[in-house]
Amino acid sequence: MISFDFQQKVALVTGGTKGIGRAIVMALLQGRARVVVTYSSDDVAADAFLQSLTAENKQRVNLLKSDVASRQDVRSLFEKEPITLVVNNAGILKQGDFQDLTDEQWDRTLAVNLKGPFMVGQEFLKHGPKGGAMVNISSIGGQTGGSKAPDYAASKAALISLTRSLARLGSARNIRVNAVAPGWIKTDIFSDEQLVNLQQEAAKVIPMGRLGMPEEIAGSVLFLLSGQASYITGHCLNVNGGLHFG
């Protein structure tokens, strides 16, 4: 992976204890950033994440239990540290039959996947420094729709729109805001059974013939956060092995 220099930067990665978020955190640490890492419920995974860090990296990580859907939790993140880079990564996905989709699930999915990035974006545009950058993790589901999780697809489509609004709003202070839309990435967001099915499906329908790995998302996020992307804002970058070109 290309290495980026984020020394002197403080990055916030929501949902950074697992999967894609964790790969982004590790890449930021490799670039010598300080990283505020959040999670909401899985203390075991959070502890395992912390234990996996070297002593040096541990000193550069501030791990916080913080629900991105809570205004108070989000506000306090920005009161603790001078955050200069943001990755809105935390997200939830529950697949099922459309007729079984409850109001409660709809509201929770939208609260975590969309309202969370809105509140983080609002705080960042208030407190963040000139020259800051934000990346929102959307999804191919937001571009194509999805019959197994329409709540998720709607939240991720709206996140692309929010990204463009925040890019317009942030430009006055030279704060860039972009999105990354991953395709099918091998993480714990899917059950083991779902991953087996996805892997078989990937061989048939993804031009590159395989699932993506979290580290392959991290590289694109770091590029968009870095000075190498200094004239890119409001963009949604597909990282999906060719599954969707839109």
Q: Which range in 41-49, 75-83, 199-207, 221-229 contacts ligand NAP by CB under 6 A? A: 41-49
Measured CA angle at 87 (ends 49, 174), to 5 deg: 150
Site pattern 109..148 for ligand NAP (x: CB under 6 A): ---x------------------------x-x---------
Cα separation, 87 vs 66, in Å, equals: 14
- 67 binding ligand NAP? (CB under 6 A): yes
Nearest to 22 by CA among 55, 46, 58: 46
Active-site option among 6, 39, 152, 184: 152
- 90 binding ligand NAP? (CB under 6 A): yes
- 41 binding ligand NAP? (CB under 6 A): yes
Q: Binding residues for ligand NAP, how many (CB under 6 A)?
A: 30
Q: Which range in 26-34, 74-82, 179-187, 226-234 contacts ligand NAP by CB under 6 A? A: 179-187
Cα separation, 210 vs 200, in Å, equals: 9
Residue 150 buriedness (CB in 10 A; 0-12 / 13-18 / 19+): middle
From the CB of residue 207, how many other CB atoms can be counted at a distance below 10 Å? Answer: 9
- Would you say 129 or 244 has its CB closer to ligand NAP? 244
The binding site for ligand NAP (CB under 6 A) comprises 14-15, 17-21, 38-42, 45, 67-69, 89-93, 112, 137, 139, 182, 184-185, 187-189
